[in-house]
Chain A
């Protein structure tokens, strides 16, 4: 599987990374190099092997339904690059 320039742009769009036109060939070469190397996995017979998900054997711990957090709007907003009073602000979104 080799990535063409259009795929590079599609993936960059999904990842919300701005890619200039002159960056595409370099990215394409690098990613194809890495993906080509990864390709060796296809040689492993994984028939009937259950895929791992997560890093351990744990099952999900449940917490009680109690309010223990919140009430800290100022701390939540303090690092915002742009805010309007008690809101975060972003360029207007048209739905």
Chain B
């Protein structure tokens, strides 16, 4: 078996049994990156030497009986996580050659547990996008191809498109990612892999370049539900450096993958049945419902009446926070600078040249909705609707233990397809964004293929801090679906 085709859990056993060394595993992935990355552009930075050194150290630790839970596992790190001594770009020109003098809490946790970082994964600029086409370092290609037209490049989804493409193409055993409106689940769905956005506050945001602080959450992308459970356990945990980090014990998520869904009540929200939804998506959803029923779960119809307002709400709240979070990119303390006649001119030229079109668009929207005279009509209104969306979930969770929906309204689309229509692009996140607005954990699991042979995902949404039930239901879907298709581009 190719070393790059292990599951993460499988690799851990192979390492433990001495079937493979961390160095061999890392070398195999570096070789895969060398071969495949030029085509799919999943990595912005590859840190081969550091990865090999880390792998050697991991092998030494294992030899001395000090192997951590991720000892020797090669991962891709979304280039939104600050990594000490390694250039961090957020997919933007404006960060220039910024080299963080600190390590984000999540990546520090992974290093503590012995992980090996292969490099920094491509993403939409400042995590703003659903197609990975807004990266200043070029788009990422989805490793999957349409059955009837292998020549058309498809997007991997976004913003964690590099993470998803790398994991799908077998360039890494897993990856870190972040999700503000669907940025873990949508690319996971498009690339036929698993991604979970945990509850807001489960993973520390410290050291992650901020997009929208009240929505941003880090989570893992991996090829199996159990792999993502293993990764999340290492990534999560209370961090006193993040005032919004939850003071909660981190459960053994992997154990939850082996529980039965028998007796669980699965909510199916009426409002997620969109008029224009492709029949394939509806069929997949029905199939998911049938699988869970067959495993002994009870299906409960539920209502989430404010669902249709979630995206417009998101496109006020997220840009508002982003407009403020991105004010620090001003060409003074780090990153690129374009000289100007005076300080104001320097700011304006630097930011105009440093930010791409989508980022500028969102900064403008965010600035506008917070400005005098519009704050109440837009920002306060959106935060009120957000409260209603959250209340919908609270009400629904009185009657069910988890909610099943499609992950996305379509399979991966072609590069350039929606670039000129921001709203069409935003609609990608129609099923995912509600979990961000209400802070709930949600996972996308590959569940089938569309007529073109492209992967489709199902989403499981859980109660706050009840990722365990999400893992239980996700693993049940995974077992039932038996998803075994492989992408066309792969190491």
Contacts and interface: CB of A to CB of B under 8 A. Distances in A.
Interface residues of B, number: 70
Interface string B191-231: 00000000011000000000001110000000000000000
B364 A41 contact: no
B201 A58 contact: yes
B361 A52 contact: no
Given A15-B363, A18-B351, A56-B439, A44 B385 contact: yes
B291 interface: no
Contact of A51 (B323, B343, B367, B380): B380
A24 to B, nearest CB: 11
B367 A15 contact: yes
A55 B215 contact: yes
B243 A58 contact: yes
Nearest to B376: A51
Interface in A10-44: 11-12, 14-19, 27, 30-31, 33-35, 37-42, 44
Contacts of B315: 34, 37-38
B198 to A, nearest CB: 12
A91 interface: yes
B397 interface: no
A86 interface: no
B371 A14 contact: yes
A80 B351 contact: no
B11 to A, nearest CB: 34
Given A61-B243, A88-B332, A88-B333, A11 B343 contact: no
A46 B382 CA distance: 10
Contacts of B316: 38, 41
Main secondary structure of the interface of A (DSSP, over half): loop
A6 interface: no
A78 interface: yes
A55 B368 contact: no
Interface string B376-390: 011011111111101
Interface in A30-77: 30-31, 33-35, 37-42, 44, 46, 49-56, 58, 60-61, 63, 72, 75-76
A80 B422 CA distance: 34
Given A17-B360, A91-B340, A34 B365 contact: yes
A81 B184 CA distance: 33
Contact of A46 (B200, B332, B371, B385): B385
B388 A49 contact: yes
Interface string B306-341: 101100110110000001000100111111110111
A18 B371 contact: no
A90 B306 contact: no
Interface centre among A37, A38, A41, A78 (most CB of B within 10 A): A38
A5 interface: no
B361 A50 contact: no
A45 to B, nearest CB: 9
Given A18-B345, A34-B423, A91-B342, 4 more contacts: A7-B368, A34-B361, A51-B383, A61-B247
17 contacts: A8-B364, A12-B364, A14-B367, A15-B323, A15-B363, A17-B355, A33-B422, A35-B365, A40-B308, A52-B390, A54-B214, A55-B439, A56-B439, A61-B243, A80-B334, A91-B341, A91-B346
The 6 A-B pairs at the shortest CB distance, nearest first, are namely: A79-B334, A55-B214, A51-B383, A81-B337, A18-B348, A46-B384
Interface of A: 1, 3, 7-8, 11-12, 14-19, 27, 30-31, 33-35, 37-42, 44, 46, 49-56, 58, 60-61, 63, 72, 75-76, 78-82, 88, 90-93
